[in-house]
Amino acid sequence: MPAETDPIRTAMTDGEAAVEARRIITEFATNYRDPSPVPSHGTTPPVPQPDSRRVPAWATGIAVASLGIGAGATGIGCAAWLVLKGLSMATMTSVLLVAAPFAGVAVAAIAVGALIARVKNAVVPEQHDHHYNGPVDQRHVHTENRGVWARTDNRG
């Protein structure tokens, strides 16, 4: 490979470096200079400026997702702020007014449950024929717990 086209070559003269630098700058220029003359008076007409930027689809997707996540986090934060603001302004009267319907429903449910339990446990005399007719042994047991490890002493 000749020395002029060898990309690995590291030593250049100042003239060669200037020519190579000018070539790189003209190939990869990022700005646009309009060569048309500027009018001496009046407004300057718009000049079309070509746009060659391309955004990859994955970058667009990440940008849209991050906007959605940010908006969602903002909505959750606002909701939490509103709830906490409302809780901070609670008084005993407002708590009782909010809790009263729930307490009423709970009391009614307990009453209905107790009524159902009593109806189920009610003994009808015609259906109950298991009577025990024998002597009843009545013992008086004296229980005493003593010590750190509670020894139980049952004496009859």
Q: Is 148 exposed, middle or buried (0-12, 13-18, 19+ CB in 10 A)?
A: exposed
Q: Tell me the backbone φ, ψ of residue 144, rounded to 5 degrees.
A: -135, 130
Distances in whole angstroms, Cα of residue 46 to Cα of each of 36, 38, 43, 49: 11, 11, 9, 9
Alpha helix segments (H runs only) across the chain: 14-27, 57-88, 92-121
**111-134 pLDDT, tens digit each:** 999 999 888 877 665 655 667 777
**12-52 pLDDT, tens digit each:** 889 999 998 888 887 776 677 777 777 777 777 777 877 77
The token duo for 87 is 């809780």
**55-91 pLDDT, tens digit each:** 888 999 999 999 999 999 999 999 999 988 988 888 8
Residues 128 and 113 sit within 8 Å (Cβ to Cβ): no
